[in-house]
Amino acid sequence: MPISSQDPTTGLSQAEAAQRLQADGPNVMPGEQPRRLAAIVQETLKEPMFMLLLAAAVLYGVLGEWQEGGILMGLVVVVLGLTLYQEGKTERAMQALRQLSSPRALVLRDGQPQRIAGQDVVVGDILVVAEGDRIAADAVLLDGSELMADESLLTGESTPVDKLAVPAGSDMPTALPPQAGGNQTPFLYCGTLVVKGHGTARVLATGERTAMGRIGSALQSLQAEASPLRAQTARLVRTLAVVALAASVCLVLAYGLMRGDWMGAVLAGIALAMALLPQEFTVVLTVLPALGAWRLSKLQVLTRRIAAIETLGATSVLCVDKTGTLTENRMTVAQLYAYGGTQADATLAVDYSAQSELPEAFHTVAEFAILASVQDPYDPMELAFHRLGAHFLQGTEHLHRDWTLVREYGLTPQLRAMSHVWTITQDHTRIVAAKGAPEAVVDLCHLPEAERLRIASAVDAMAGQGLRVLGVAQGQFEGTDWPAQEHDFTFHFVGLLGLQDPLRPGIPDAVAQCHTAGIRVVMITGDYPATAHAIARTAGLAQGDAAGVLSGDEIATLDDAALRSRMREVAVCARVAPAQKLRIVQALQADGQVVAMTGDGVNDAPALKAAHVGIAMGGRGTDVARESAALVLLDDNFASIVGAIRLGRRIFDNVRKSMSYILAVHVPIAGMALLPVLLGWPTVLFPLHIAFLELVIDPACSMVFENEPAETDGMRHPPRDVQAPLLGQRTLGLALLQGAGALAVVMAAQWWAMGQWGEDGGRAFAFITLVLGNLGLIFCNRSHLPLWRSVATPNRTLWVVCSVALLLTLAAVYLPWLQGLFAFAPMPGDGLALAVGLGLLCVLWFEALKAWQRRPLAA
């Protein structure tokens, strides 16, 4: 079927859309592709550790030790396989996040509006676009109201352009013009932004066939961007690399001059460099945050910027919207107020189950509220008015059957009200319906002060019940030139509507968890202050009085210093304009707070961008808000934000535990590669031994610690200082002391064992002790709690890694062909038992240090 002949009110069927998606392919730009296996292998082989392993294998071959060289090459392949597994898992997680972060589109399918991924849009789809939407594909505008688009991404012109729908009765374009962009045209282009108005459009081109695709731009890609933590760690790795190089050169010279074995000196130097290089740091900072982002997506939180995970757990103030985040965004008109003028006012609690029609006094309130609403609504509040009409006024069709909408006045920051002008077909009378914030509608009606106070009292009574209150007015227009503003109409106040939006289940508990974790929750809403305070009180945000409520009008009167001071005690910000959110964020940041901010609209973008962690609403949020945010809340639920903060703390804790383990374990390895040589003892660790140890260290630092559950008290302590280094002095000192203790035990083990079982026996005994000390470090660094309390915490990966390490160690000691490769002698049973005892001694040392570290915290 030609696309121009399709019914724009129904759109494509699901079957037609599936066929076109199969034929044309997904609607994606020629942008960043996932890394291929060959690219990952190439990057991995460039790592210094692999280059050292390969150099050692070649040297063994030069020396004629083909068996040792072959085994070392085999270990290279095994370590490479582990690395590829970790990188592949990370890449799959990142690719899944890229797909989630692609633009969304609202389309008509089978006559029903559906929100789909932008990549699923096909030619012929009917797009429903509104202010703040990113256009998902090239399209032609079928109808629209004052629609303007920002095409700067495509044309470079910063001024938004008007878009006009194709005139009724004219031929529908089936192809795009050669020149993209332009003012007063019906064409919308992929990647451009709707900055005003709304409309529907038919898709003409997708993917590489769009104007943006022809240019070859890559939109919407998610990359693991450099973060402060990665930069800090990169500096540490570079420093240690220089130290490793210098120490290795010195060791080669000392070994060669002392023993005259220059080939052995080179092998010893390579072993020391491998022992000193903490290349696992970069693995940890790639794998743990990326897989953490994947875990966040399971909590309905999409990570658009990986670096935000570092800050998420340090959040000290959480600023949230009320509607749809704390509440269900499922509005119902619960109360009506009919203004009596010179007569008595009337109030009605709406009961949908017991009532079938409204008393006559309330008909006008309901009818004019519907006339001032969108005809085909998607917004929950607009839908609530239409449900009211459908239930009590026998539907809303009779209001529109003989009426024609001729003029619309939208909400503006200056006037929180909207008006619709209707013409009655029979007598051409023009009727004006307005609804909006009660104070704005009262202002339109130019009421005397006594009447304003009378209505304000009714608003306060309704708002005190937690209802969102809107005012309604009616008027007539008899002129010929449309007024520039709504104040030029003559309005009469009709009444009020109170909308109920229930709290989401579990909100009070989630707020209590935030307070326990030292996180302040500030509710920011455009609602009336009394409504906002009632909701906040129910949610557990505010106490009985309204002292903690700050209004937008008050914010406008405060300078930056006064606002900063006021925000220290505020739990609710009401009647806040979107532009004021930025000032709130900046005031909190200036006071030293780490701010997470939620938002959903175009005007929220500056505040989302300025916040330490911007959180866009995925369900109802605009594309521009999503693009400005670091995280996207896919279910718009406050409880998901709290879960994300808990997981953010877990991710950061696990990164710190892993880094501390890496630092600690490299101390005995580097010491055993260096000290025996300097003391004239036989060499203990050759490159083969260190490659073997890497089989334990690599999966331990990434997979074991990534799977470690959150600490039981993770949400019972204040947020960490975001400026503090990952490895502070206490953590760094603890890791070095752990490593030094293990080194002392292993050195003593080798010294004693050489006298008992000779060089090879001493090497085997020291190596077993070192492996057991390594495993002890893993267990003791899992948690800051004592080992006897944390050992039962489930972590299947931990037991797999430890079991494999022990089996491989026993095989190296007791299998004859491996004994020769590792230069080991078989260990008698009592020697093995003694090595286990020394491993337990290391554990006792580690636990004593943890107890010493905990003591000041408990004092």
804-844 pLDDT tens trace: 999 999 999 999 988 888 889 999 999 999 999 999 999 99
Residue 66's pLDDT is 62
What is the percent of the chain with per-residue pLDDT over 70, rounded to a whole number? Answer: 83
State how beta strands 187-188 and 301-303 pair.
unpaired
4-20 pLDDT tens trace: 556 677 889 899 999 99
Residue 246's pLDDT is 85
SS (H, E, C) 495-552: EEEEEECCECCCHHHHHHHHHHCCCEEEEECCCCHHHHHHHHHHHCCCCCCCCCEEEH
Average pLDDT, the chain: 82
Residue 809's pLDDT is 93
Residue 528's pLDDT is 85
For the record, the structure tokens of 326 come out as 């704390």
Angle between helices 66-100 and 37-45 (to 10 degrees): 130
Collapse the DSSP code of 843 into the 3-class scheme (helix H, G, I; strand E, B; otherwise coil) and give the result.
Answer: helix
Residue 512's pLDDT is 92
Full DSSP string of 658-702: HHHHHHHHHHHHHHHHHHHHHTTPPP---HHHHHHHHHHHHHIII
49-100 pLDDT tens trace: 566 656 666 665 665 556 655 665 666 676 667 666 656 665 665 565 555 5
Sheet with 417-424, edge to edge strand ranges: 346-349, 332-338, 490-500, 468-476, 430-436, 417-424, 403-409
Residue 100's pLDDT is 53
Residue pair 139/187 in contact (Cβ under 8 Å)? The answer is yes
Average pLDDT for 292-308? 80
Residue 224's pLDDT is 37
pLDDT beyond 50 at 784: yes
Task: For residue 703, count other CB atoms closer than 10 A to its CB.
Answer: 21
Collapse the DSSP code of 79 into the 3-class scheme (helix H, G, I; strand E, B; otherwise coil) and give the result.
Answer: helix
Average pLDDT for 755-782? 93
Q: Count the alpha carbons within 13 Å of 593 in the hemisphere toward its beta carbon.
A: 26
Residue 227's pLDDT is 56
**H or E element in which residue 708 lies:** none
Residue 32's pLDDT is 42
User: For the chain, what is the radius of gyration of the CA atoms?
Assistant: 34
pLDDT beyond 60 at 462: yes
Q: Where are the alpha helices (DSSP H) in 567-686?
A: 578-590, 605-610, 623-628, 638-678
Collapse the DSSP code of 641 into the 3-class scheme (helix H, G, I; strand E, B; otherwise coil) and give the result.
Answer: helix
506-550 pLDDT tens trace: 899 999 999 999 999 999 988 888 888 888 888 988 765 555 789
Tell me how far apart the alpha carbons of residues 40 and 416 are, in angstroms, rounded to a whole number: 55
- Most confident range (mean pLDDT) of 328-337, 354-363, 833-842 is 833-842
Full DSSP string of 227-251: -HHHHHHHHHHHHHHHHHHHHHHHH
Residue 158's pLDDT is 58
Given 133, 150, 321, 623, which residue is catalytic? 321
What is the percent of the chain with per-residue pLDDT over 90, rounded to a whole number? Answer: 27
Average pLDDT for 133-144? 88
Residue 452's pLDDT is 93
Residue 71's pLDDT is 60
Q: List all residues 6 or more positions away from 826 whose beta carbon is below 8 Å from its beta carbon.
A: 764, 813, 814, 819
Collapse the DSSP code of 472 into the 3-class scheme (helix H, G, I; strand E, B; otherwise coil) and give the result.
Answer: strand
Tell me if the pTM is above 0.85.
Answer: no
C-alpha dist (Å) from residue 787 to 637, 710, 712, 781, 843: 37, 15, 14, 9, 9
Cα separation of the two ends of the chain: 78
pLDDT beyond 50 at 220: no
Catalytic site includes residue 110? no
* Total count of residues recorded for the chain: 859
Residue 222's pLDDT is 35
C-alpha torsion sign, points 184, 186, 189, 195:
positive
For the record, the structure tokens of 736 come out as 């070095």
